[in-house]
Chains A and B, each alone.
Chain A
Amino acid sequence: MNVPAAWYLILAAGLFGIGAFGFLIRRSALIMFMCIELMLNAVNLTFVTFSRTLNDISGQAIVFFVLVVAAAEVTVGLGIVVAVFRRRSSTSVDELSEMKG
């Protein structure tokens, strides 16, 4: 008998929690992007687990689209990081405070 789906779901929830915690505490924009990738991977793992348990291919098809959107998001996000770094030679999100009231 295979490992139950619950184990993988708990693992994915833990991975999502770690990613969310990192996103909240780190200040480097690059590390924050990596934490977003961690959270996206946790959701992908959940989709694949549901797909296997419900015996349905749609979960895997959705993971395919999540991968594509993640690639697009990283491309644009890193472009923004490069543009910001040109202007202020830092990737710390704390220094982007022009809009402060």
Chain B
Amino acid sequence: MIALATAYSIPSVLVFVTSALLILVGAIGVISVKNPVHAALCLIMTLIGVAVAFVAQSADFLAAVQIIVYAGAIVVLFLFVIMFLGVDRREHIHFEPLVGQRAFAGVGVVITVAGLITLMARSHWVSGATSVTTKLSSGSGNVRELGTSVFTTYLFAFEATAALLIIAVVGAVLLARRERPSSEESA
């Protein structure tokens, strides 16, 4: 830790350790707790950790959006569905229908992650041209750069996501709607 502190500034190391702890503890909680409500709360912990990492890497706007959209909307949607369905029963987590499924899944995931890290380490982690489109602002805040980029370079994609959201909302309403008895019977 002392060697690290001499090499890198202590606040950045502290922020990284904080976000890493939040992210990893929350993620392990999501996949290991039995109660879905607790899993959703662990998911919030991970999302806040990711937001901390965003702030540390000068993505201020995305950190705010991460909290508002993920923790505020998506997790609430999860919790709402859990309450609505009444599925807060516990899943039998130790029951394994396919023999050896966990071992195979673990081996596959370890191989994938180790291969990914090895690949990145052998190619100097980040390679490529710098500042191809717009530079990040060096000062405080990046909302202006991000907004300019989204509304000029990525305008078409932005409009497409608007259409996608409308379609998703209509589709979700259609899927979740209860079949109504026909109007002649009710009349």
Q: Is the CB of B53 within 8 A of A8?
A: yes
Known contacts being A11-B20, A65-B161, A72-B168, is A52 close to B84, with CB within 8 Å? no
User: Which DSSP category, helix, strand, loop or mixed, fits chain A's interface?
Assistant: helix
Query: Which residues of B lie under 8 Å from residue A33 when comparing CB positions?
Result: 78
Of A25, A51, A63, most B-chain CB atoms within 10 Å:
A25
- Interface positions, chain A 14-33, Cβ under 8 Å from B, are 14-22, 24-28, 30-31, 33
Contact of A82 among B50, B84, B121 (CB under 8 A): B84
Contact of A30 among B82, B145, B167 (CB under 8 A): B82
Given contacts A24-B105, A70-B70, 6 further A-B contacts (CB under 8 A): A15-B24, A28-B91, A30-B87, A34-B39, A57-B146, A75-B77
What are the interface flags for B98-112 relative to A under an 8 Å C-beta threshold, 1 for contact and 0 otherwise?
000110011011101
Contact of B146 among A19, A50, A64 (CB under 8 A): A64
Q: Is the CB of A72 within 8 A of B165?
A: yes
Contact of B16 among A3, A53, A76 (CB under 8 A): A3
Q: Is the CB of A3 within 8 A of B13?
A: yes
Alpha-carbon gap, A67 to B13, bound state (A):
27
Alpha-carbon gap, A2 to B176, bound state (A):
48
Alpha-carbon gap, A71 to B8, bound state (A):
37
Q: Is the CB of B43 within 8 A of A37?
A: yes
Query: Which residues of A lie under 8 Å from residue B7 when comparing CB positions?
Result: 1
CB<8 Å pairs between A and B, sample of 12: A2-B12, A9-B126, A24-B105, A50-B126, A61-B154, A64-B150, A67-B62, A67-B66, A75-B168, A75-B172, A85-B87, A91-B87
Interface residues on A, range: 35 or more
- Interface positions, chain B 114-173, Cβ under 8 Å from A, are 116-117, 120-121, 125-126, 128-136, 142, 145-146, 149-150, 153-154, 157-158, 161, 164-165, 167-169, 171-173
Alpha-carbon gap, A41 to B50, bound state (A):
7
Contact of B28 among A18, A52, A72, A76 (CB under 8 A): A18
- Interface positions, chain B 5-62, Cβ under 8 Å from A, are 7-9, 12-13, 15-16, 19-20, 23-24, 27-28, 30-31, 36, 39-40, 43, 46-47, 50, 53-54, 56-59, 61-62
